[in-house]
Structure 1
Protein backbone atom coordinates (compact mmCIF):
# COMPACT_ATOMS: atom_id res chain seq x y z
CA UNK A 1 0.00 0.00 0.00
CA UNK A 2 2.86 2.23 0.82
CA UNK A 3 4.71 1.21 -2.42
CA UNK A 4 1.78 2.30 -4.51
CA UNK A 5 1.84 5.65 -2.83
CA UNK A 6 5.65 6.08 -3.21
CA UNK A 7 6.31 8.29 -6.29
CA UNK A 8 9.65 6.61 -6.95
CA UNK A 9 7.94 3.42 -8.02
CA UNK A 10 5.40 5.15 -10.19
CA UNK A 11 5.61 3.93 -13.86
CA UNK A 12 8.28 1.38 -12.84
CA UNK A 13 6.81 -1.41 -14.92
CA UNK A 14 6.66 0.85 -17.95
CA UNK A 15 10.33 1.80 -17.55
CA UNK A 16 11.35 -1.80 -17.17
CA UNK A 17 9.42 -2.71 -20.29
CA UNK A 18 11.09 0.07 -22.29
CA UNK A 19 14.52 -1.04 -21.07
CA UNK A 20 13.83 -4.63 -22.10
CA UNK A 21 12.63 -3.51 -25.52
CA UNK A 22 15.78 -1.41 -26.01
CA UNK A 23 17.96 -4.35 -25.03
CA UNK A 24 16.17 -6.63 -27.43
CA UNK A 25 16.50 -4.06 -30.22
CA UNK A 26 20.26 -3.83 -29.53
CA UNK A 27 20.58 -7.62 -29.66
CA UNK A 28 18.68 -7.73 -32.91
CA UNK A 29 20.85 -4.97 -34.35
CA UNK A 30 24.04 -6.76 -33.32
CA UNK A 31 22.77 -10.00 -34.80
CA UNK A 32 21.87 -8.18 -38.00
CA UNK A 33 25.30 -6.59 -38.23
CA UNK A 34 27.05 -9.87 -37.54
CA UNK A 35 24.85 -11.62 -40.02
CA UNK A 36 25.60 -8.97 -42.63
CA UNK A 37 29.32 -9.28 -42.04
CA UNK A 38 29.12 -13.05 -42.12
CA UNK A 39 26.81 -13.04 -45.13
CA UNK A 40 24.16 -14.84 -43.10
CA UNK A 41 21.35 -13.03 -44.84
CA UNK A 42 22.81 -13.19 -48.34
CA UNK A 43 21.94 -15.84 -50.86
CA UNK A 44 25.16 -17.79 -51.55
CA UNK A 45 26.48 -20.79 -53.46
CA UNK A 46 29.37 -23.11 -52.65
CA UNK A 47 32.64 -23.60 -54.56
CA UNK A 48 35.64 -25.85 -53.88
CA UNK A 49 39.37 -25.90 -54.57
CA UNK A 50 42.25 -28.08 -53.40
CA UNK A 51 45.69 -27.02 -52.15
CA UNK A 52 48.77 -29.06 -51.32
CA UNK A 53 49.10 -27.49 -47.87
CA UNK A 54 46.63 -25.60 -45.70
CA UNK A 55 49.12 -23.12 -44.28
CA UNK A 56 47.63 -19.62 -44.29
CA UNK A 57 44.00 -20.74 -44.74
CA UNK A 58 41.48 -20.36 -41.88
CA UNK A 59 37.73 -20.62 -41.55
CA UNK A 60 35.93 -17.32 -42.00
CA UNK A 61 38.77 -15.65 -43.92
CA UNK A 62 37.40 -13.34 -46.60
CA UNK A 63 37.14 -14.18 -50.29
CA UNK A 64 37.65 -11.18 -52.58
CA UNK A 65 37.31 -10.43 -56.27
CA UNK A 66 39.06 -7.33 -57.66
CA UNK A 67 39.65 -6.21 -54.04
CA UNK A 68 35.94 -6.44 -53.14
CA UNK A 69 34.63 -8.97 -50.60
CA UNK A 70 32.32 -11.53 -52.27
CA UNK A 71 32.33 -14.39 -49.76
CA UNK A 72 34.23 -16.33 -47.07
CA UNK A 73 35.95 -19.66 -46.36
CA UNK A 74 33.52 -22.06 -44.68
CA UNK A 75 35.43 -25.34 -44.34
CA UNK A 76 38.90 -26.96 -44.55
CA UNK A 77 39.33 -30.74 -44.71
CA UNK A 78 42.21 -33.17 -45.34
CA UNK A 79 41.45 -35.60 -48.19
CA UNK A 80 42.75 -39.09 -48.97
CA UNK A 81 45.73 -37.75 -50.94
CA UNK A 82 46.96 -35.77 -47.91
CA UNK A 83 45.87 -32.56 -49.62
CA UNK A 84 43.51 -29.92 -48.25
CA UNK A 85 40.01 -29.40 -49.66
CA UNK A 86 38.74 -25.89 -49.04
CA UNK A 87 35.14 -24.78 -49.36
CA UNK A 88 34.09 -21.17 -49.92
CA UNK A 89 30.72 -19.45 -50.08
CA UNK A 90 30.21 -16.74 -52.70
CA UNK A 91 27.28 -14.34 -52.89
CA UNK A 92 25.04 -15.10 -55.82
CA UNK A 93 24.95 -11.46 -56.86
CA UNK A 94 28.58 -11.86 -57.96
CA UNK A 95 27.82 -15.08 -59.80
CA UNK A 96 28.24 -13.49 -63.24
CA UNK A 97 31.94 -12.64 -62.64
CA UNK A 98 33.05 -16.11 -61.61
CA UNK A 99 33.53 -18.26 -64.73
CA UNK A 100 34.98 -21.66 -65.46
CA UNK A 101 38.44 -20.15 -66.18
CA UNK A 102 38.54 -18.20 -62.91
CA UNK A 103 41.40 -19.10 -60.57
CA UNK A 104 41.94 -18.92 -56.82
CA UNK A 105 45.10 -17.96 -54.96
CA UNK A 106 46.18 -17.00 -51.45
CA UNK A 107 47.53 -13.44 -51.20
CA UNK A 108 48.25 -10.86 -48.53
CA UNK A 109 46.69 -7.43 -48.35
CA UNK A 110 49.81 -5.35 -48.33
CA UNK A 111 53.20 -6.40 -47.08
CA UNK A 112 52.11 -7.36 -43.54
CA UNK A 113 48.36 -7.45 -44.02
CA UNK A 114 45.93 -10.33 -43.45
CA UNK A 115 45.77 -13.24 -45.84
CA UNK A 116 42.78 -13.44 -48.17
CA UNK A 117 41.52 -15.77 -50.87
CA UNK A 118 41.44 -13.92 -54.16
CA UNK A 119 39.27 -15.06 -57.07
CA UNK A 120 40.18 -13.82 -60.54
CA UNK A 121 37.58 -12.43 -62.94
CA UNK A 122 36.63 -14.98 -65.58
CA UNK A 123 36.19 -14.48 -69.32
CA UNK A 124 32.72 -13.47 -70.39
CA UNK A 125 32.74 -16.05 -73.17
CA UNK A 126 33.23 -18.87 -70.63
CA UNK A 127 30.28 -20.49 -68.83
CA UNK A 128 29.38 -19.49 -65.28
CA UNK A 129 30.28 -21.90 -62.48
CA UNK A 130 27.51 -23.79 -60.70
CA UNK A 131 26.95 -24.56 -57.06
CA UNK A 132 29.48 -27.18 -55.95
CA UNK A 133 31.92 -26.70 -58.86
CA UNK A 134 35.68 -26.58 -58.35
CA UNK A 135 38.08 -23.80 -59.22
CA UNK A 136 41.76 -24.03 -60.14
CA UNK A 137 44.18 -23.02 -57.38
CA UNK A 138 47.29 -21.07 -58.37
CA UNK A 139 50.08 -21.57 -55.88
CA UNK A 140 51.82 -18.46 -54.60
CA UNK A 141 55.01 -18.27 -52.60
CA UNK A 142 54.69 -17.57 -48.93
CA UNK A 143 56.90 -15.31 -46.90
CA UNK A 144 59.01 -18.22 -45.71
CA UNK A 145 59.56 -19.43 -49.27
CA UNK A 146 60.35 -15.92 -50.45
CA UNK A 147 62.79 -15.51 -47.57
CA UNK A 148 64.51 -18.80 -48.45
CA UNK A 149 64.72 -17.79 -52.12
CA UNK A 150 66.15 -14.37 -51.26
CA UNK A 151 68.63 -16.01 -48.89
CA UNK A 152 69.81 -18.37 -51.62
CA UNK A 153 70.31 -15.43 -53.98
CA UNK A 154 72.04 -13.26 -51.37
CA UNK A 155 74.35 -16.01 -50.07
CA UNK A 156 76.79 -15.91 -53.06
CA UNK A 157 76.92 -12.13 -52.78
CA UNK A 158 77.75 -12.32 -49.08
CA UNK A 159 80.48 -14.88 -49.80
CA UNK A 160 82.00 -12.60 -52.44
CA UNK A 161 81.82 -9.61 -50.08
CA UNK A 162 83.60 -11.65 -47.41
CA UNK A 163 86.32 -12.64 -49.88
CA UNK A 164 86.74 -9.01 -50.97
CA UNK A 165 87.07 -7.85 -47.36
CA UNK A 166 89.64 -10.56 -46.67
CA UNK A 167 91.54 -9.55 -49.81
CA UNK A 168 91.51 -5.88 -48.78
CA UNK A 169 92.67 -6.64 -45.25
CA UNK A 170 95.44 -9.02 -46.35
CA UNK A 171 98.75 -7.28 -45.48
CA UNK A 172 100.55 -9.22 -48.19
CA UNK A 173 97.84 -8.66 -50.77
CA UNK A 174 98.14 -6.62 -53.92
CA UNK A 175 96.03 -3.78 -52.52
CA UNK A 176 98.22 -3.25 -49.48
CA UNK A 177 101.34 -3.46 -51.64
CA UNK A 178 99.83 -0.95 -54.05
CA UNK A 179 99.14 1.47 -51.19
CA UNK A 180 102.72 1.14 -49.96
CA UNK A 181 104.03 1.68 -53.48
CA UNK A 182 101.87 4.78 -53.79
CA UNK A 183 103.29 6.15 -50.54
CA UNK A 184 106.83 5.52 -51.80
CA UNK A 185 105.97 7.11 -55.13
CA UNK A 186 104.62 10.17 -53.32
CA UNK A 187 107.87 10.60 -51.41
CA UNK A 188 109.85 10.18 -54.63
CA UNK A 189 107.64 12.75 -56.29
CA UNK A 190 108.54 15.27 -53.60
CA UNK A 191 112.26 14.68 -54.28
CA UNK A 192 111.63 14.92 -58.02
CA UNK A 193 109.81 18.19 -57.52
CA UNK A 194 112.78 19.61 -55.59
CA UNK A 195 115.14 18.55 -58.40
CA UNK A 196 112.83 20.04 -60.99
CA UNK A 197 112.70 23.33 -59.09
CA UNK A 198 116.51 23.43 -59.00
CA UNK A 199 116.68 22.62 -62.71
CA UNK A 200 114.20 25.36 -63.52
CA UNK A 201 116.22 27.86 -61.50
CA UNK A 202 119.39 26.89 -63.44
CA UNK A 203 117.48 27.15 -66.71
CA UNK A 204 116.28 30.63 -65.77
CA UNK A 205 119.86 31.72 -65.06
CA UNK A 206 121.00 30.25 -68.40
CA UNK A 207 118.20 32.04 -70.20
CA UNK A 208 119.22 35.31 -68.61
CA UNK A 209 122.84 34.78 -69.80
CA UNK A 210 121.64 33.92 -73.31
CA UNK A 211 119.46 37.02 -73.32
CA UNK A 212 122.43 39.19 -72.34
CA UNK A 213 124.62 37.61 -75.04
CA UNK A 214 121.85 38.09 -77.60
CA UNK A 215 121.51 41.74 -76.64
CA UNK A 216 125.28 42.19 -77.01
CA UNK A 217 125.24 40.49 -80.42
CA UNK A 218 122.39 42.67 -81.59
CA UNK A 219 124.20 45.77 -80.45
CA UNK A 220 127.38 44.68 -82.31
CA UNK A 221 125.35 43.91 -85.45
CA UNK A 222 123.69 47.27 -85.23
CA UNK A 223 127.04 49.04 -84.97
CA UNK A 224 128.40 47.08 -87.98
CA UNK A 225 125.33 47.97 -90.01
CA UNK A 226 125.73 51.59 -89.04
CA UNK A 227 129.42 51.46 -90.08
CA UNK A 228 128.63 50.25 -93.61
CA UNK A 229 129.23 52.73 -96.51
CA UNK A 230 125.76 53.12 -97.93
CA UNK A 231 127.13 55.13 -100.88
CA UNK A 232 129.31 52.24 -102.06
CA UNK A 233 126.44 49.82 -101.65
CA UNK A 234 124.15 52.08 -103.63
CA UNK A 235 126.78 52.40 -106.44
CA UNK A 236 127.13 48.62 -106.58
CA UNK A 237 123.39 48.30 -106.76
CA UNK A 238 123.31 50.86 -109.59
CA UNK A 239 125.75 48.72 -111.65
CA UNK A 240 123.61 45.65 -111.29
CA UNK A 241 120.91 46.51 -113.93
CA UNK A 242 123.36 46.83 -116.92
CA UNK A 243 125.09 43.66 -115.87
CA UNK A 244 121.75 41.88 -115.72
CA UNK A 245 120.88 43.23 -119.19
CA UNK A 246 124.16 41.87 -120.66
CA UNK A 247 123.51 38.53 -119.02
CA UNK A 248 120.01 38.42 -120.55
CA UNK A 249 121.48 39.22 -124.04
CA UNK A 250 124.11 36.44 -123.68
CA UNK A 251 121.42 33.98 -122.66
CA UNK A 252 119.33 35.02 -125.68
CA UNK A 253 122.34 34.41 -128.04
CA UNK A 254 122.89 30.99 -126.47
CA UNK A 255 119.26 30.13 -127.07
CA UNK A 256 119.51 31.28 -130.73
CA UNK A 257 122.71 29.21 -131.29
CA UNK A 258 121.04 26.19 -129.74
CA UNK A 259 118.03 26.59 -132.05
CA UNK A 260 120.27 26.97 -135.15
CA UNK A 261 122.27 23.88 -134.19
CA UNK A 262 119.10 21.89 -133.73
CA UNK A 263 117.82 23.08 -137.18
CA UNK A 264 121.09 22.17 -138.99
CA UNK A 265 121.06 18.75 -137.34
CA UNK A 266 117.51 18.09 -138.51
CA UNK A 267 118.50 19.23 -142.11
CA UNK A 268 121.74 17.20 -142.23
CA UNK A 269 120.51 13.87 -140.92
CA UNK A 270 118.26 13.12 -143.98
CA UNK A 271 121.29 13.58 -146.42
CA UNK A 272 123.68 11.33 -144.48
CA UNK A 273 122.40 7.97 -145.87
CA UNK A 274 122.91 9.08 -149.57
CA UNK A 275 126.37 10.51 -148.85
CA UNK A 276 127.39 7.31 -147.09
CA UNK A 277 126.19 5.11 -149.97
CA UNK A 278 128.04 7.29 -152.58
CA UNK A 279 131.17 7.24 -150.47
CA UNK A 280 131.02 3.43 -150.28
CA UNK A 281 130.62 3.21 -154.11
CA UNK A 282 133.59 5.57 -154.62
CA UNK A 283 135.78 3.56 -152.25
CA UNK A 284 134.74 0.33 -153.97
CA UNK A 285 135.59 1.78 -157.45
CA UNK A 286 138.98 3.06 -156.20
CA UNK A 287 139.80 -0.30 -154.68
CA UNK A 288 138.95 -2.09 -157.93
CA UNK A 289 141.09 0.37 -159.95
CA UNK A 290 144.06 -0.17 -157.65
CA UNK A 291 143.74 -3.93 -157.96
CA UNK A 292 143.68 -3.64 -161.76
CA UNK A 293 146.79 -1.47 -161.82
CA UNK A 294 148.64 -3.83 -159.54
CA UNK A 295 148.02 -6.69 -161.95
CA UNK A 296 148.94 -4.59 -164.99
CA UNK A 297 152.31 -5.36 -166.83
CA UNK A 298 153.17 -1.69 -166.69
CA UNK A 299 153.58 -2.00 -162.92
CA UNK A 300 155.23 -5.39 -163.14
CA UNK A 301 152.06 -7.37 -163.00
CA UNK A 302 151.43 -10.73 -164.58
CA UNK A 303 148.85 -9.60 -167.08
CA UNK A 304 150.42 -9.15 -170.70
CA UNK A 305 148.86 -7.00 -173.36
CA UNK A 306 146.76 -8.85 -175.94
CA UNK A 307 148.15 -9.16 -179.65
CA UNK A 308 146.15 -8.40 -182.77
CA UNK A 309 145.52 -11.65 -184.63
CA UNK A 310 145.76 -9.90 -188.05
CA UNK A 311 149.20 -8.44 -187.50
CA UNK A 312 152.59 -10.10 -188.27
CA UNK A 313 155.67 -10.52 -186.09
CA UNK A 314 158.66 -8.32 -186.78
CA UNK A 315 156.69 -5.89 -188.90
CA UNK A 316 156.63 -3.08 -186.41
CA UNK A 317 157.42 -0.28 -188.86
CA UNK A 318 154.45 -1.10 -191.01
Structure 2
Protein backbone atom coordinates (compact mmCIF):
# COMPACT_ATOMS: atom_id res chain seq x y z
CA UNK A 1 0.00 0.00 0.00
CA UNK A 2 2.74 2.45 0.99
CA UNK A 3 4.67 1.57 -2.17
CA UNK A 4 1.59 2.40 -4.24
CA UNK A 5 1.17 5.73 -2.47
CA UNK A 6 4.82 6.63 -3.07
CA UNK A 7 4.53 5.79 -6.77
CA UNK A 8 1.38 7.91 -7.03
CA UNK A 9 3.13 10.85 -5.36
CA UNK A 10 6.16 10.53 -7.65
CA UNK A 11 3.98 10.36 -10.76
CA UNK A 12 2.00 13.38 -9.61
CA UNK A 13 5.19 15.37 -9.02
CA UNK A 14 6.55 14.28 -12.38
CA UNK A 15 3.41 15.35 -14.22
CA UNK A 16 3.51 18.69 -12.42
CA UNK A 17 7.12 19.18 -13.55
CA UNK A 18 6.21 18.29 -17.12
CA UNK A 19 3.25 20.67 -17.15
CA UNK A 20 5.39 23.47 -15.74
CA UNK A 21 8.06 22.86 -18.36
CA UNK A 22 5.46 22.79 -21.12
CA UNK A 23 4.00 26.17 -20.08
CA UNK A 24 4.75 28.91 -22.62
CA UNK A 25 7.59 31.29 -21.92
CA UNK A 26 6.05 34.65 -21.05
CA UNK A 27 7.37 37.62 -23.02
CA UNK A 28 6.64 41.33 -22.67
CA UNK A 29 7.27 43.19 -25.94
CA UNK A 30 7.55 46.83 -24.83
CA UNK A 31 7.46 49.22 -27.78
CA UNK A 32 8.68 52.73 -26.96
CA UNK A 33 9.61 53.45 -30.59
CA UNK A 34 7.75 56.37 -32.20
CA UNK A 35 5.81 55.50 -35.33
CA UNK A 36 7.91 57.90 -37.45
CA UNK A 37 4.90 58.67 -39.61
CA UNK A 38 3.84 55.26 -40.84
CA UNK A 39 7.32 53.75 -41.14
CA UNK A 40 7.21 52.03 -37.75
CA UNK A 41 3.47 51.87 -37.16
CA UNK A 42 2.37 49.93 -34.09
CA UNK A 43 0.84 47.04 -36.10
CA UNK A 44 4.25 46.45 -37.69
CA UNK A 45 5.96 46.29 -34.30
CA UNK A 46 3.22 44.09 -32.89
CA UNK A 47 3.71 41.69 -35.80
CA UNK A 48 7.02 40.62 -34.25
CA UNK A 49 5.42 40.01 -30.87
CA UNK A 50 2.54 38.06 -32.41
CA UNK A 51 5.02 35.96 -34.39
CA UNK A 52 6.43 34.72 -31.09
CA UNK A 53 2.99 33.80 -29.76
CA UNK A 54 2.02 32.00 -32.97
CA UNK A 55 5.34 30.21 -33.45
CA UNK A 56 5.04 26.49 -34.11
CA UNK A 57 1.26 26.60 -33.75
CA UNK A 58 1.38 28.39 -30.39
CA UNK A 59 2.21 27.18 -26.90
CA UNK A 60 5.95 27.91 -26.91
CA UNK A 61 5.86 31.65 -26.19
CA UNK A 62 3.12 33.91 -24.91
CA UNK A 63 4.07 37.44 -25.95
CA UNK A 64 2.22 40.51 -24.68
CA UNK A 65 2.62 43.61 -26.84
CA UNK A 66 2.43 47.07 -25.27
CA UNK A 67 3.08 50.32 -27.12
CA UNK A 68 3.77 53.27 -24.84
CA UNK A 69 5.96 56.35 -24.90
CA UNK A 70 4.60 57.57 -21.56
CA UNK A 71 7.05 57.43 -18.63
CA UNK A 72 5.74 55.47 -15.66
CA UNK A 73 3.58 53.03 -17.60
CA UNK A 74 6.27 50.34 -17.69
CA UNK A 75 6.54 50.36 -13.90
CA UNK A 76 2.79 49.80 -13.57
CA UNK A 77 2.95 46.86 -15.98
CA UNK A 78 5.90 45.19 -14.25
CA UNK A 79 4.50 45.79 -10.77
CA UNK A 80 1.35 43.92 -11.78
CA UNK A 81 2.80 41.17 -13.98
CA UNK A 82 5.95 39.08 -14.24
CA UNK A 83 7.61 37.82 -17.40
CA UNK A 84 10.41 35.47 -18.36
CA UNK A 85 11.76 37.83 -21.03
CA UNK A 86 11.28 41.53 -21.67
CA UNK A 87 11.96 42.87 -25.17
CA UNK A 88 12.59 46.59 -25.36
CA UNK A 89 11.78 47.76 -28.88
CA UNK A 90 13.44 51.09 -28.23
CA UNK A 91 14.44 53.44 -31.04
CA UNK A 92 13.85 57.01 -29.93
CA UNK A 93 15.82 60.22 -29.74
CA UNK A 94 14.25 61.14 -26.40
CA UNK A 95 13.78 59.57 -22.98
CA UNK A 96 10.74 57.33 -22.56
CA UNK A 97 11.27 55.99 -19.03
CA UNK A 98 11.27 57.51 -15.55
CA UNK A 99 12.93 56.43 -12.29
CA UNK A 100 10.07 54.09 -11.38
CA UNK A 101 10.33 52.35 -14.76
CA UNK A 102 14.07 51.83 -14.41
CA UNK A 103 13.68 50.51 -10.85
CA UNK A 104 11.15 47.97 -12.16
CA UNK A 105 13.62 46.90 -14.85
CA UNK A 106 16.29 46.44 -12.18
CA UNK A 107 13.90 44.26 -10.16
CA UNK A 108 13.35 42.05 -13.20
CA UNK A 109 17.08 41.87 -13.88
CA UNK A 110 17.74 40.86 -10.26
CA UNK A 111 16.38 37.36 -10.96
CA UNK A 112 16.57 37.22 -14.78
CA UNK A 113 19.95 38.71 -15.58
CA UNK A 114 20.68 37.46 -19.10
CA UNK A 115 21.10 40.27 -21.61
CA UNK A 116 20.94 40.44 -25.39
CA UNK A 117 21.64 43.72 -27.20
CA UNK A 118 20.50 44.05 -30.82
CA UNK A 119 21.49 47.12 -32.81
CA UNK A 120 19.41 46.02 -35.80
CA UNK A 121 15.92 45.49 -34.36
CA UNK A 122 14.28 48.70 -35.61
CA UNK A 123 14.45 47.89 -39.33
CA UNK A 124 13.16 44.33 -38.82
CA UNK A 125 9.54 45.32 -39.38
CA UNK A 126 9.06 48.72 -41.03
CA UNK A 127 7.52 50.21 -44.16
CA UNK A 128 10.63 50.54 -46.29
CA UNK A 129 11.35 47.75 -48.77
CA UNK A 130 10.77 44.05 -49.41
CA UNK A 131 13.47 42.92 -46.97
CA UNK A 132 11.89 44.85 -44.08
CA UNK A 133 8.55 43.11 -44.54
CA UNK A 134 8.59 40.84 -41.47
CA UNK A 135 9.34 37.90 -41.18
CA UNK A 136 11.79 38.81 -43.94
CA UNK A 137 13.60 36.91 -46.70
CA UNK A 138 12.95 33.18 -46.29
CA UNK A 139 11.44 34.09 -42.88
CA UNK A 140 14.99 34.64 -41.64
CA UNK A 141 14.10 37.68 -39.52
CA UNK A 142 11.32 35.74 -37.84
CA UNK A 143 13.75 32.91 -37.19
CA UNK A 144 16.37 35.31 -35.84
CA UNK A 145 13.81 36.76 -33.43
CA UNK A 146 12.76 33.30 -32.24
CA UNK A 147 16.38 32.29 -31.70
CA UNK A 148 17.16 35.44 -29.72
CA UNK A 149 14.17 35.06 -27.42
CA UNK A 150 14.73 31.33 -26.99
CA UNK A 151 18.35 31.83 -25.95
CA UNK A 152 17.21 34.20 -23.20
CA UNK A 153 14.28 32.03 -22.13
CA UNK A 154 16.11 28.72 -21.77
CA UNK A 155 18.87 30.41 -19.79
CA UNK A 156 16.37 31.42 -17.13
CA UNK A 157 15.01 34.66 -18.57
CA UNK A 158 16.35 38.11 -19.15
CA UNK A 159 16.18 41.28 -21.20
CA UNK A 160 16.57 41.98 -24.91
CA UNK A 161 17.16 45.59 -25.95
CA UNK A 162 16.81 46.47 -29.62
CA UNK A 163 17.42 49.77 -31.37
CA UNK A 164 18.96 51.45 -34.44
CA UNK A 165 21.74 53.93 -35.24
CA UNK A 166 22.84 56.85 -33.08
CA UNK A 167 19.99 59.20 -33.99
CA UNK A 168 17.63 57.17 -31.89
CA UNK A 169 19.27 55.24 -29.05
CA UNK A 170 18.26 57.35 -26.05
CA UNK A 171 15.51 55.09 -24.69
CA UNK A 172 17.52 51.92 -25.37
CA UNK A 173 20.47 53.37 -23.47
CA UNK A 174 18.20 54.36 -20.58
CA UNK A 175 17.31 50.69 -20.11
CA UNK A 176 20.82 49.36 -20.69
CA UNK A 177 22.42 51.94 -18.40
CA UNK A 178 19.99 51.12 -15.60
CA UNK A 179 21.29 47.55 -15.34
CA UNK A 180 24.85 47.89 -16.69
CA UNK A 181 26.13 51.41 -15.94
CA UNK A 182 28.61 52.60 -18.55
CA UNK A 183 27.40 50.23 -21.26
CA UNK A 184 25.66 51.81 -24.23
CA UNK A 185 24.66 51.46 -27.86
CA UNK A 186 26.53 53.78 -30.21
CA UNK A 187 27.44 54.47 -33.80
CA UNK A 188 26.10 54.17 -37.31
CA UNK A 189 27.34 51.28 -39.43
CA UNK A 190 27.28 50.35 -43.12
CA UNK A 191 27.59 46.54 -43.39
CA UNK A 192 29.97 44.83 -45.78
CA UNK A 193 30.39 41.12 -46.49
CA UNK A 194 33.45 41.23 -44.22
CA UNK A 195 31.74 39.79 -41.16
CA UNK A 196 30.98 36.63 -39.18
CA UNK A 197 28.40 35.10 -36.87
CA UNK A 198 29.92 33.28 -33.89
CA UNK A 199 28.65 29.86 -32.84
CA UNK A 200 25.06 28.88 -33.55
CA UNK A 201 22.97 30.84 -31.06
CA UNK A 202 21.48 33.17 -33.67
CA UNK A 203 21.59 30.98 -36.78
CA UNK A 204 20.84 27.48 -35.55
CA UNK A 205 18.96 27.41 -32.25
CA UNK A 206 15.18 26.88 -32.56
CA UNK A 207 15.20 27.81 -36.25
CA UNK A 208 17.95 27.27 -38.83
CA UNK A 209 18.40 30.44 -40.88
CA UNK A 210 20.91 31.53 -43.51
CA UNK A 211 23.32 34.31 -42.59
CA UNK A 212 23.07 35.82 -46.07
CA UNK A 213 19.33 36.44 -45.66
CA UNK A 214 20.00 38.48 -42.53
CA UNK A 215 22.89 40.29 -44.23
CA UNK A 216 20.80 41.20 -47.29
CA UNK A 217 18.22 42.71 -44.95
CA UNK A 218 20.84 44.74 -43.09
CA UNK A 219 22.52 45.80 -46.33
CA UNK A 220 19.23 47.15 -47.71
CA UNK A 221 18.91 49.61 -44.80
CA UNK A 222 22.50 50.32 -43.64
CA UNK A 223 21.87 51.89 -40.25
CA UNK A 224 22.80 49.33 -37.61
CA UNK A 225 23.95 50.38 -34.15
CA UNK A 226 27.07 49.08 -32.47
CA UNK A 227 26.08 46.79 -29.61
CA UNK A 228 28.27 47.14 -26.53
CA UNK A 229 30.91 44.52 -25.74
CA UNK A 230 33.53 44.18 -23.01
CA UNK A 231 33.78 43.93 -19.24
CA UNK A 232 31.48 45.87 -16.91
CA UNK A 233 30.05 45.87 -13.39
CA UNK A 234 26.28 45.70 -13.28
CA UNK A 235 23.85 47.64 -11.07
CA UNK A 236 24.20 45.04 -8.30
CA UNK A 237 28.00 45.11 -8.29
CA UNK A 238 28.45 41.87 -10.23
CA UNK A 239 31.03 41.52 -12.97
CA UNK A 240 29.50 41.04 -16.40
CA UNK A 241 31.05 40.49 -19.82
CA UNK A 242 29.20 41.31 -23.02
CA UNK A 243 30.28 39.13 -25.96
CA UNK A 244 29.73 39.78 -29.64
CA UNK A 245 27.42 37.36 -31.45
CA UNK A 246 28.10 38.88 -34.88
CA UNK A 247 30.85 41.24 -36.03
CA UNK A 248 30.75 43.20 -39.29
CA UNK A 249 33.14 45.69 -40.91
CA UNK A 250 31.85 48.79 -42.68
CA UNK A 251 31.97 48.86 -46.46
CA UNK A 252 34.09 48.09 -48.37
CA UNK A 253 35.47 45.77 -45.67
CA UNK A 254 38.96 45.25 -44.34
CA UNK A 255 38.61 47.70 -41.46
CA UNK A 256 37.61 47.17 -37.83
CA UNK A 257 34.59 44.98 -37.22
CA UNK A 258 31.71 46.15 -35.06
CA UNK A 259 29.29 44.07 -33.03
CA UNK A 260 25.68 44.32 -34.21
CA UNK A 261 24.33 41.89 -31.60
CA UNK A 262 25.94 41.05 -28.25
CA UNK A 263 25.01 38.94 -25.24
CA UNK A 264 25.97 38.32 -21.63
CA UNK A 265 26.96 34.75 -22.49
CA UNK A 266 29.76 33.62 -24.76
CA UNK A 267 28.68 32.10 -28.08
CA UNK A 268 29.87 28.65 -29.03
CA UNK A 269 32.86 27.76 -31.16
CA UNK A 270 33.01 28.21 -34.90
CA UNK A 271 32.30 31.05 -37.30
CA UNK A 272 29.88 31.50 -40.19
CA UNK A 273 30.61 34.07 -42.88
CA UNK A 274 27.94 36.71 -43.02
CA UNK A 275 27.21 35.93 -46.68
CA UNK A 276 26.95 32.16 -46.13
CA UNK A 277 23.75 30.80 -47.71
CA UNK A 278 23.52 27.57 -45.69
CA UNK A 279 20.58 27.47 -43.24
CA UNK A 280 22.06 27.08 -39.77
CA UNK A 281 25.52 28.15 -40.88
CA UNK A 282 28.18 25.95 -39.35
CA UNK A 283 26.12 22.81 -38.71
CA UNK A 284 28.56 21.72 -36.01
CA UNK A 285 27.53 24.64 -33.82
CA UNK A 286 23.87 24.47 -32.81
CA UNK A 287 22.43 26.85 -30.23
CA UNK A 288 24.24 26.66 -26.92
CA UNK A 289 21.53 25.22 -24.66
CA UNK A 290 19.26 22.37 -25.79
CA UNK A 291 15.86 22.37 -24.13
CA UNK A 292 14.99 19.14 -22.27
CA UNK A 293 11.88 17.59 -23.76
CA UNK A 294 8.82 16.48 -21.83
CA UNK A 295 9.53 12.93 -23.01
CA UNK A 296 13.00 13.07 -21.50
CA UNK A 297 11.58 14.28 -18.20
CA UNK A 298 9.02 11.49 -18.15
CA UNK A 299 11.70 8.90 -18.92
CA UNK A 300 13.91 10.22 -16.12
CA UNK A 301 10.96 10.10 -13.76
CA UNK A 302 10.12 6.51 -14.65
CA UNK A 303 13.74 5.51 -14.04
CA UNK A 304 13.56 7.19 -10.63
CA UNK A 305 10.36 5.33 -9.80
CA UNK A 306 11.97 2.02 -10.79
CA UNK A 307 14.95 2.67 -8.55
CA UNK A 308 12.72 3.58 -5.62
CA UNK A 309 10.69 0.38 -6.08
CA UNK A 310 13.85 -1.75 -6.12
CA UNK A 311 15.15 -0.07 -2.96
CA UNK A 312 11.95 -0.86 -1.06
CA UNK A 313 11.22 -4.33 -2.50
More RCO (CA 8 Å, sep 6+): 2
* Structure richer in strand, relative to its length: 2
Structure number, greater radius of gyration: 1
TM-score range, shorter chain: under 0.3
TM-score w.r.t. the length of structure 2 is 0.20
